[in-house]
Amino acid sequence: MSDRATYYGSDREAEDAMAVMARWISRNRKIKVVYHNGTAVDADVEGGVIRIPRMACASGITQEALMLLRGRVYHEAGHIDETVTVPRKDYPKPTPDGRKTPLFEIWNALEDRRMEAVESDKHAGCKVVFDWSTKYFNKEIAKKISSGNLDAPLWEALVAMSFLVEGCSPAWSPSKKAKAYIDAAYSEFSKVKSCQNDRESLELAEKIHKLLKQANEDWKKNEPKQQPQKGQQGQKGEKGEKDEKDDQGDQGEQEKGKQDKGEPQSGGSGDFEDEDEEGEGKDSESKKGKDDKGEKKDGEDGEEDGEGKGGEKKEKEEKGKDGEGSSGGEESDDEEGDDEEGEGSEGEGEEGDGEGEDEEGEGKGDGSLEGAESSEGGEKGAEAGGKGKGKGGNEGDGEKPDGKGESKGDVKPGDAPYEMKDEEAQGGMGEKDDRELEDEVDGVSQEEIANEELSRYFADLDPADTNYLSRRDLDEHIVPSVNDAGKTTYKERREMVSVMVASMTHALEQALRSLARSRKKPYLRHGKLDKRRLVSIAKGLSKEVFYKINSGMDLDVAVAVTIDESGSMGNFVHVQLMALAIGEALNAIRVPFEIIGTTTQYSGGDHRMPLMEGFSRVNPIIYRHYKSFNEKWDVVRSRIVQTSHYNHNIDGEVVEYAAFRLAQRKESRKIVFSLSDGEPCGGHNNDEQMGANLKRVCKRVRKEGIEVYGFGIGTEGPRSLYGNEWFVYLESPSKMGPEFVKKFADVVTGGRFKV
């Protein structure tokens, strides 16, 4: 619980992804779960088996680690559930030396996207986990790439396209060759979510494989330079200039003048529209304010006829040389210009460094991706239209490798990839690279990243927490029904505690009014002038003639009430009345709350109980949700009369669960009221271990700012477990007196008001 974060937007989402395995997985008969003593999550998709580290069930696991675990488990479960049409014999065959082929990697990337989309539509919590995973792995892969130890263009392109199709801009600048692959294949890759099954995604993979093979051949054929394509800037050397003159012989003296001066010509990736045909004139106004010194702005390369419209341009003093990184246009000049403009460089992890910006620092272009990298001011994005503008920095999902910014995931699925920076533009391809596709897939998988992080996390766990392992995936959540019989019984029980309810409600309302009242603080040397003390001013009797108004405070608190429904709770009716009174009082002052009753599925010694297999608790916990935060008390309050006593109680895990749900709340104060009769017991003959876990959970939860109070009705048992200052004793609801009311009001108000 050390870093509880708000990942879920509703109770249903949180419920659907609460444990390491969600309920939809545990109910799927095609999936078999095996726990092991290692640290990695892996699966046999064909056999329908998921292998989970036993340490994943340790008490106190952080939310990031739990989300990583869920992401891996849900992903593998999704493949078992969805990747079923293509038999194993029809999978793309590996290379003779046992490596996976590019076709298999392409298919795997496509099927991951298709399968996760299907499972997200089925399960709300599953969608939350996959969305979180996309952002997490985007950041982690960017860190790996920025380290400079990875050189696998095909892998890099597949990862980038996977993020783009999820509406998430890659948090790094793809290499030139990877960008060529993206340009060649993304329009097909973006069709993945229209595939109905894994066979269709395999057919799509075969089409993409052909496109990428052709892109690889074109790359090798055009090394060390490449003919610039229509619609994106291409920087050329001496030979490139000659080719450009041949291709654009009818461009007129204007273009010839540029070539004589060594200025770069227009052109670039074929995935982008021609600036001249539609964008001519859109940027002419923004180019009027260029530097008086004649320095060339990168965005001016976007128009072939930019001369005369963008002000005076600085002439390039050096021509590009054949075989250099950019076969003309001089990358060094562009980089120096970037530094002068004060934008972040690629090494700092910021994707946009000002190329193509006008005087206001914005580059606009039809078809460019909002939040994606804006490289050439006024140039157009790829074939998926729409207008957007980039402001130098990438605003896609995930932080940059240096942590200098967060992206916002504003790329729309199916849009074309973002434009490159000038020094990355494909006018020149850089070092000669004759590798085949098979040699460009050895990157790092998300599975490897997750398992590496989990291994590190498990090594850092508190040894005391690793001694308590529980099968939370077996737990069950029930919402009791509302019926007429319950409503009648509720009215009868309500009458039994009407005096107690009135006392608690009156005390809380009195406290609330007092807290909310604004108060005047007079006799100050600074503040507003108190007109009633004008005489003191005139006679010079006092300088303390000012006042301030102290605004009242809101009762900004949320409460979770847990009810022990174990067999030892013979006084369960008294506990029921206590919960009823608390619910009525909190509802009267509009404090959000929920009430949950818990017990176990089996009693001790029941032969149906799962085998222990190294766990501390395998007896499933049954959670009965009598009232959730998002439900109205007046509608569901009759459920409370269904509380009873059943088997055992696992108070430590119940408190941890209630605290987790409170962590999703926006209120500043969060309180757990645990109504119990003593030491936890799971029917496993390890009650001391259960009690020790409850103490650790309370300590950990309170450290996170969530208050935990134990209520003992007719018993002092919970005092030693919750702590003397966190324990409230009540002999019985019928004997509740002023002292209890004062204590209860003091807890709810945080000690800011005494009844």
In a domain? residue 40: yes
Which residues 6+ apart lie within 8 Å of 534 measured at CB? 545
Same domain as 524, residue 495: no
Q: What is the residue range of 559's domain?
A: 478-512+553-748
Burial 192-218 (b: 16+ CB within 10 A, else e): bbebebbebbbebbeebbebbeebbee
- Which pLDDT score is estimated for 7? 61
Q: In what order do the strands lie in the sheet with 546-550?
A: 519-524, 546-550, 528-529
Q: Are 472 and 59 in contact (CB under 8 A)?
A: no
**CATH code assigned at 714:** 3.40.50.410
Kindly state the tokens that stand for 326: 């950019």
- Which pLDDT score is estimated for 270? 34
Using the structure block, give the residue that is written with the tokens 């194993």: 88
In a domain? residue 725: yes
Burial 104-116 (b: 16+ CB within 10 A, else e): bbbbbbbbbbbbb
Question: Distance from CA of residue 300 to its chain's centroid?
Answer: 38
In the 8-state DSSP scheme, what is residue 416?
Answer: P
Same domain as 525, residue 568: no
**Considering the entire predicted model, what is its pTM?**
0.63
Q: Measure the CA–CA gap between 292 and 275, rounded to whole angstroms.
A: 25
Same domain as 633, residue 532: no
In a domain? residue 297: no
Kindly state the tokens that stand for 441: 């897939």
Measured in degrees and rounded to the nearest 5, phi and psi for residue 366 equal -70, 135
Nearest one of 647, 592, 575, 621 to 478, comparing CA atoms: 621
Same domain as 558, residue 653: yes
Grouping H, G, I as helix, E, B as strand and the rest as coil, residue 649 is strand
pLDDT less than 70: residues of the chain: 1-20, 223-431, 511-520, 537-539, 549-554, 733-738, 751-755
- Which pLDDT score is estimated for 140? 95
User: Within 13 Å and on the Cβ side, how many CA atoms surround 56?
Assistant: 34
Same domain as 445, residue 545: no
In a domain? residue 726: yes
Q: Measure the CA–CA gap between 461 and 703, rounded to whole angstroms.
A: 17
Q: Which long-range contacts (CB under 8 A, 24 or more apart) does 86-92 make?
A: 86/198, 86/199, 86/202, 88/46, 90/202, 92/202, 92/205
- Which pLDDT score is estimated for 444? 92
Same domain as 687, residue 585: yes
- Which pLDDT score is estimated for 268? 37
Same domain as 608, residue 545: no
Same domain as 492, residue 533: no
Q: Tell me: the pLDDT tens digits for 178-205?
A: 999 999 999 999 999 999 999 999 999 9
Q: CA quadruple 531, 536, 540, 542: dihedral positive or negative?
A: negative
Residue 568 vs residues 15, 112, 331, 574, 578: alpha-carbon distances, Å:
28, 49, 78, 13, 17
Same domain as 54, residue 89: yes
In a domain? residue 307: no
Q: Please state the domain count of the chain.
A: 3
In a domain? residue 384: no
Residue 537: Cβ-neighbour burial (10 angstroms; 0-12, 13-18, 19+) = middle
Angle at the Cα of 707 from the Cα atoms of 704 and 709, rounded to 5 degrees:
145
In a domain? residue 370: no
Same domain as 648, residue 542: no
Q: Measure the CA–CA gap between 306 and 377, rounded to whole angstroms.
A: 12
Which residues 6+ apart lie within 8 Å of 204 measured at CB? 110, 188, 191, 192, 195
Burial 504-524 (b: 16+ CB within 10 A, else e): bbebbeebbebeeeeeeeeee
In a domain? residue 627: yes
Same domain as 633, residue 722: yes
Same domain as 57, residue 112: yes
- Which pLDDT score is estimated for 316? 40
